[in-house]
Chains A and B, each alone.
Chain A
Amino acid sequence: MLSFTFWDILSNLLLAARWTVLLSLIAFVCGGVVGLLVLLARVSRSAVLRKLSGYYIEAFQGTPLLMQLFLIFFGLPLVGIEVTAWLAAVLALTLFTSAFLAEIWRGCVEAVPRGQWEASESLGMTYFEQMRHVVLPQALRISIPPTVGFSVQVIKGTALTSIIGFVEVTRAGTMITNATFQPFLVYGLVALIYFVLCFPLSFYAKRLERRLHVAR
C-alpha cells in the first residue's frame, strides 16, 4: 500500500490552491468589470436600465451560488453549449461577483452627498462628467473597504466549484482524503489555506475602513 507523508499531502494541496487563487482573481477582475457596467446601469437616468440591473442583482443575490453553478454547468449543455468545469466556474463566479459588487458600489455612489451633484450640475457638467470627475472618485474611496471585504467571500465561494468537479483546493482535499483516510488532517490543512488567503484581506479591509474614516 502507498503511504503519504505530511509533505505529500501539503504540497498537493498547495498546488491545487493555485487554482483557487487563480479562479478568485479571474472572478474578481471579471466580476469587477461587469459589476461596473451593472452599477452604471443601476444609477443611470434611464428607468428601464435601472429596473433591468435591479432584476439582475436580485436574481444573483436571491439564489445560492451553488444553484447558479449547477444551472450553468448542467443547463448550458441542454441548449447545445458545452461548458467545461473551469468555464462554468469562471462564468458563475463572475456573474455572482458582479451582482454583489454592483450593489455594494451603488451604496457608495449614493453615499456621495447630494450637494456634490448640485454643485457640479450648477457648473454645467453633464451627467457623465459629474460621474467621471466628481462622484465616482469619491465613491471609489468609500468603496475600497467593503470591496476588499467582499473579495473574501469570492475566495470562499470558489470552494463550491469543487462540486461540479473543478479541482481547486477543496476538491483536492476530498481526493486526498479518499486516498489517505485522514479527513481531519487534510480538511484542517484546507481550512488553514483558506484562512491564510482570507485573513490578510479582511484584516486589511478593517484597517482601510478605520483609516478612510478619519481621512478626507
Chain B
Amino acid sequence: MSLVKLQGIRKSYGSNEVLKGIDLTVNEGQVVALIGRSGSGKSTLLRTINGLEEINGGALEVDGEMLRPGHTNLRALRMKVGMVFQQFNLFPHLSAIENVMLAPVVVKKQNKAEAREVAAACLAKVGLADKEKSYPDQLSGGQQQRVAIARALAMQPRVLLCDEITSALDPELVNEVLNVVRKLAEEGMTLILVTHEMRFARDVCDNLVFMHGGKIREQGEPEQLFAAPATAELSQFVGSVAFH
C-alpha cells in the first residue's frame, strides 16, 4: 500500500528549477535511497516531503495528508514524517532525554511522565539508555546522531527521512548509525534516505532512485540497477562511487 506519493513535484529557486516534475511512490515498509551527484536535487526532494522546502508545483501525499503549493499548515503532515539531518541539529541546551521528550510534550501534549517513558524507550532502542542525562556536547558525533534518530522516533512517524545522516561523521562512527537504521528497516519502518553509502544502499534498500538534473533518471532494485544501468549517467555514477 502506498504511503508516500509524489506527483509532478516542481521546485525552483528564482529562475533555477531544481526539481523538474518528480513522480515517486513509496510503499509502507519500503526502504528507498535517493542517490545521485551533489546538485542533482535529491536533498531538496527529501526536504519537500515534510514541507521544509516549499513546492512550486505538483502535490504530495503522506498517509492521507495532502500537501500542495502554498499550504502553510504543515503540522499534521510533519507529525507523520520524521526527519534526521546531516548536522544532527540536536538542541544543545537540553539533555539527550529532554531532546527526545520535547516534541511529544509540546506538539502532542503528552504528559511528561509518559513522554519520559517513551523517550527512554527510544534512547534504549538506539543503544543510548545510559546517556539519558548527557548533553549533546558530551556525546560523540555518532551518539548525537543516534539521539537525533530517537528524537524523530519519539513522535511515532509513519515515515522517516534521513538526509545524508552519516556524512558529517568520522569514518569509525558511521557504522553505529547505519546499524540503527538497518535495525529500523528490519522492523518494517518506512525509510527514505539520501545517502552516499552505496554499499549500505545496496544491502538495505528495496529500491534505489537515481536522480540527475532535477529528474528521476532510473529506479529499481539495487542489484539490478548497479549491475545493468540503463542510462549513461547512472553507469558513470556507479563507476565513480566506491563500494566501501
Q: Which residues of A approach B to under 8 Å, CB–CB?
A: 113, 115-116, 118-126, 129, 133-134, 137-138, 141, 216
Q: Which residues of B approach A to under 8 Å, CB–CB?
A: 50, 52, 74-75, 78-79, 81-83, 85, 87, 89-93, 102-103, 106-107, 135-137, 148, 151-152, 155
B148 nearest in chain A by CB position: A119
Q: Which residues of B contact A122 (CB under 8 A)?
A: 50, 52, 78, 81-83
A61 to B79, CA, bound (A): 43
A116 to B85, CA, bound (A): 11
Contact A133 B106 (CB under 8 A): yes
B90 nearest in chain A by CB position: A119
Contact B52 A216 (CB under 8 A): no
Q: In angstroms, how far is the closest chain B Cβ from the Cβ of A213?
A: 13
Contact B102 A133 (CB under 8 A): yes
B103 nearest in chain A by CB position: A123
Given contacts A122-B52, A129-B107, whether A116 and B91 have CB atoms under 8 Å apart is yes
Please pick, from A113, A116, A124, A138, the residue contacting B78 in the complex, using a CB distance under 8 A: A124
A138 nearest in chain B by CB position: B93
Please pick, from B75, B91, B137, the residue contacting A124 in the complex, using a CB distance under 8 A: B75
A118 to B93, CA, bound (A): 16
Q: Which residues of A contact B85 (CB under 8 A)?
A: 115, 118-119
Please pick, from A116, A118, A119, A124, the residue contacting B107 in the complex, using a CB distance under 8 A: A124
Q: How many A-B residue pairs have CB under 8 A?
A: 59
Contact A119 B89 (CB under 8 A): yes
Q: Which residues of B contact A120 (CB under 8 A)?
A: 91, 103
Q: In angstroms, how far is the closest chain B Cβ from the Cβ of A198?
A: 30
Contact B52 A118 (CB under 8 A): yes
Q: Which residues of A contact B74 (CB under 8 A)?
A: 124
A196 to B87, CA, bound (A): 46
Q: Which residues of B contact A126 (CB under 8 A)?
A: 75
Please list the 7 inter-chain residue pairs (A to B) with the smallest Cβ-Cβ separation, ordered nearest first.
Answer: A119-B89, A123-B103, A115-B89, A124-B78, A122-B83, A124-B107, A216-B137
Contact A124 B92 (CB under 8 A): no
Q: Which residues of A contact B90 (CB under 8 A)?
A: 119
Contact B107 A123 (CB under 8 A): yes
Contact B93 A123 (CB under 8 A): no
Q: Which residues of A contact B107 (CB under 8 A)?
A: 123-125, 129
A133 to B191, CA, bound (A): 28
Q: Which residues of B contact A137 (CB under 8 A)?
A: 93
Q: In angstroms, how far is the closest chain B Cβ from the Cβ of A45?
A: 10
Q: In angstroms, how far is the closest chain A Cβ from the Cβ of B77?
A: 8
Cross-chain pairs A/B with CB under 8 angstroms, 15 sampled: A113-B89, A115-B87, A116-B91, A119-B148, A123-B102, A123-B103, A123-B107, A124-B74, A124-B78, A125-B106, A133-B102, A133-B106, A216-B135, A216-B136, A216-B137
Contact A116 B89 (CB under 8 A): yes
A26 to B52, CA, bound (A): 43
A133 to B107, CA, bound (A): 11
Q: In angstroms, how far is the closest chain A Cβ from the Cβ of B70?
A: 15
Q: In angstroms, how far is the closest chain A Cβ from the Cβ of B181?
A: 17
A140 nearest in chain B by CB position: B93
Contact A138 B103 (CB under 8 A): no
A3 to B64, CA, bound (A): 90
A118 to B137, CA, bound (A): 19
A216 to B155, CA, bound (A): 26
Q: Which residues of A contact B135 (CB under 8 A)?
A: 216
Q: Which residues of B contact A133 (CB under 8 A)?
A: 102, 106
A141 to B152, CA, bound (A): 26
A129 to B92, CA, bound (A): 16
Contact A118 B89 (CB under 8 A): yes
Please pick, from A119, A125, A129, A216, the residue contacting B93 in the complex, using a CB distance under 8 A: A216
Please pick, from A119, A121, A141, the residue contacting B91 in the complex, using a CB distance under 8 A: A119
Q: Which of B79, B81, B87, B135 has the most CB of A within 10 A?
A: B87
A125 to B51, CA, bound (A): 13
